[in-house]
């Protein structure tokens, strides 16, 4: 993963008068105002929140109280359910909250966003990587860490092509399954060091020493409740506990990657790079829509389970709006994009999105300078 420095940061083109984003924001605001709707959560979102949290914490309580001691099949089944719970919490509850989109009340957002800390992550790091870097510099090599996988994967045409990338469309899926394990063990420490060097840690208004202390305490708490307590009270042998946790993280890592990557790493993505003066050709909003795609917009189960992140275009343009509103907003975005002659990419199904991503991995693994966009 490359280290972000101030010299690497880019400037987007000015938006201009009566531009796409100005018009779009006005239309979206009119939608909420005319329908007297809050852009934050509603009753349906509260119910979803309860379901997602229950998918993770209820199975854990069943395991740690010893109810699965004589039924290993039930234990592993509950671990799978917890993995699905991590995905649901991550894409719906935690995600909206750390964007400040869940509630108008900042305390509510902080508390629900902090659930990530109980899942083995570190909310402060997540906000820097996701909110600041990914949402600002989407698909720009060296800045968007969501397309960084070291030498293992090539997810940008600006990244060097290595011999083993020829097979990345095959092995990438296994790498994705390791994502969460890497996150809960080493990645947060590596990120914290890099964010200190780049000055990005200051965005969270904490010192490096405090960050290390917070992160270490959170990791200790995670090990205590996720490993130590189950070993002591579940009646399950320690090796099964460890294997169950690995299985849970495999499910979560693989699923989360399959949700996020097809929205950005596909053939229609622009992958524009700055000029010699670190300036981008397009303004920020146009850059976002050219590097993002929606998928499965009519699949109600997908929309419900992954927090509307299949409406990734809407999320990137309006991260401060709760995802529960994205299906309606998408109609407005598509109409305004058409008026301004801007491509609006939508893949009809989740399966087609995964296929498009796999195809893109193959192209990036075999062609040094693929023609994209």
Predicted confidence (pLDDT) per residue in 311-363, tens digit: 999 999 999 999 999 999 999 999 999 999 999 999 999 999 999 999 999 99
Residues of the chain above pLDDT 70, percent? 97
Give the pLDDT confidence score for residue 360 in this predicted structure: 97
CA–CA distances in Å: residue 115 to residues 27, 109, 179, 227, 264: 33, 10, 18, 18, 26
- Other C-beta atoms closer than 10 Å to the C-beta of 78 total 22
Q: Are 293 and 349 in contact (CB under 8 A)?
A: no
Structure tokens at 138: 């989407």
Q: Are 304 and 275 in contact (CB under 8 A)?
A: no
pLDDT at 107 over 50: yes
Structure tokens at 86: 């991590």
Q: Which residues contact 27 (CB under 8 A, 6 or more apart)?
A: 332, 335, 336
pLDDT at 275 over 50: yes
Give the pLDDT confidence score for residue 9 in this predicted structure: 81
- pLDDT tens profile 54-65: 999 999 999 999
Give the pLDDT confidence score for residue 7 in this predicted structure: 52
- Please give the Cα distance from 257 to 11 (Å, whole number): 28
Between the two ends of the chain, the Cα-to-Cα distance in Å is 25
- pLDDT tens profile 210-233: 999 999 999 999 999 999 999 999
- In this prediction, residues 8-16 reach a mean pLDDT of 84
- Other C-beta atoms closer than 10 Å to the C-beta of 328 total 15
Residues of the chain above pLDDT 90, percent? 89
pLDDT at 77 over 80: yes
Give the pLDDT confidence score for residue 195 in this predicted structure: 93
Give the pLDDT confidence score for residue 1 in this predicted structure: 42
Give the pLDDT confidence score for residue 23 in this predicted structure: 95
- In this prediction, residues 75-100 reach a mean pLDDT of 97
Q: Which residues pair with 11 in a beta bridge?
A: 279
Q: Which residues pair with 220 in a beta bridge?
A: none
Q: Which residues pair with 149 in a beta bridge?
A: 151
Structure tokens at 254: 């693989």
- In this prediction, residues 306-315 reach a mean pLDDT of 95
The DSSP secondary structure of 243-294, one letter per residue, reads HHHHHHHHHHHHHHHHHHGGGTSSTT-------TTSB-SS-HHHHHHHT--E
Residue position matching structure tokens 């083995």 = 120
Q: At what angle do helices 43-64 and 72-88 cross, to 10 degrees?
A: 150
Give the pLDDT confidence score for residue 370 in this predicted structure: 79
* Exposed / middle / buried, residue 43 (Cβ in 10 Å: 0-12, 13-18, 19+): exposed
Give the pLDDT confidence score for residue 62 in this predicted structure: 97
Length of the chain: 373
pLDDT range class, residue 19, cuts 50, 70, 90: confident
pLDDT at 68 over 50: yes
- In this prediction, residues 67-80 reach a mean pLDDT of 95
Q: Which residues pair with 151 in a beta bridge?
A: 149
- Please give the Cα distance from 258 to 90 (Å, whole number): 13
The DSSP secondary structure of 17-46, one letter per residue, reads TT-HHHHHHHHHHHHHHHTT--SS--HHHH
- In this prediction, residues 115-144 reach a mean pLDDT of 95
Among the residues of the chain, which ranges form H helices?
20-34, 43-64, 72-88, 94-98, 106-113, 115-118, 123-126, 135-136, 168-177, 179-182, 188-198, 208-223, 229-233, 238-260, 284-290, 300-305, 312-317, 326-339, 350-366
pLDDT at 21 over 90: yes
Give the pLDDT confidence score for residue 279 in this predicted structure: 93
Nearest 5 degrees, angle CA 186-CA 160-CA 165? 75
- Other C-beta atoms closer than 10 Å to the C-beta of 161 total 15
- In this prediction, residues 193-208 reach a mean pLDDT of 89
Give the pLDDT confidence score for residue 16 in this predicted structure: 72
- In this prediction, residues 121-135 reach a mean pLDDT of 95
Residue position matching structure tokens 């060296």 = 142
Q: What is the pTM of this model?
A: 0.94
Give the pLDDT confidence score for residue 308 in this predicted structure: 87
Give the pLDDT confidence score for residue 204 in this predicted structure: 82
Q: Are 41 and 103 in contact (CB under 8 A)?
A: yes
- In this prediction, residues 133-137 reach a mean pLDDT of 95
């Amino acid at each position: 993963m490359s280290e972000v420095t101030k010299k690497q940061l880019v400037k987007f083109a000015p938006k201009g008068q009566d531009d796409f984003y100005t018009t779009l924001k006005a239309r979206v605001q009119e939608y909420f105002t005319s329908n007297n709707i809050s852009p934050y959560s509603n009753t349906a979102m509260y119910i979803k929140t309860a379901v997602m949290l229950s998918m993770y914490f209820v199975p854990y309580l069943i395991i740690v109280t010893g109810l699965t001691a004589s039924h290993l099949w039930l234990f592993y089944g509950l671990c799978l359910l917890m993995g699905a719970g991590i995905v649901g919490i991550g894409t719906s509850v935690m995600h909206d909250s750390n964007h400040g989109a869940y509630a108008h009340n900042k305390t509510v957002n902080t508390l629900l966003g902090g659930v990530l800390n109980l899942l083995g992550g570190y909310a402060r790091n997540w906000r820097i990587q996701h909110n600041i870097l990914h949402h600002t510099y989407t698909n720009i090599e060296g800045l968007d860490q969501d397309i960084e996988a070291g030498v293992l994967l090539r997810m940008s045409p600006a990244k060097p092509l290595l011999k083993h990338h020829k097979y990345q469309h095959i092995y990438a899926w296994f790498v994705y399954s390791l994502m969460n394990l890497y996150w809960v063990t080493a990645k947060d420490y590596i990120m914290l060091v890099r964010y200190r060097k780049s000055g990005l840690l200051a965005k969270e208004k904490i010192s490096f020493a405090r960050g290390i202390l917070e992160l270490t305490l959170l990791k200790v708490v995670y090990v205590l409740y996720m490993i130590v307590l189950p070993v002591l009270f579940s009646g399950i042998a320690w090796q099964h506990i460890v294997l169950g946790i690995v299985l849970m993280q495999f499910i979560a890592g693989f699923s989360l990657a399959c949700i996020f990557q097809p929205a950005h790493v596909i053939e229609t993505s622009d992958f524009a790079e700055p000029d010699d003066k670190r300036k981008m050709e397009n303004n920020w909003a146009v850059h976002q829509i050219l590097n993002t795609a929606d998928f499965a917009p009519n699949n109600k189960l997908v929309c419900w389970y992954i927090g509307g992140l299949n409406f990734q275009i809407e999320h990137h343009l309006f991260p401060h709006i709760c995802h529960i509103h994205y299906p309606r907003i998408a109609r407005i975005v598509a109409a305004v994009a058409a008026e301004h002659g801007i491509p609006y990419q939508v893949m009809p199904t989740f399966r087609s999105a995964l296929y498009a991503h796999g195809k893109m991995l193959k192209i990036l693994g075999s062609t040094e300078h693929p023609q994209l966009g």
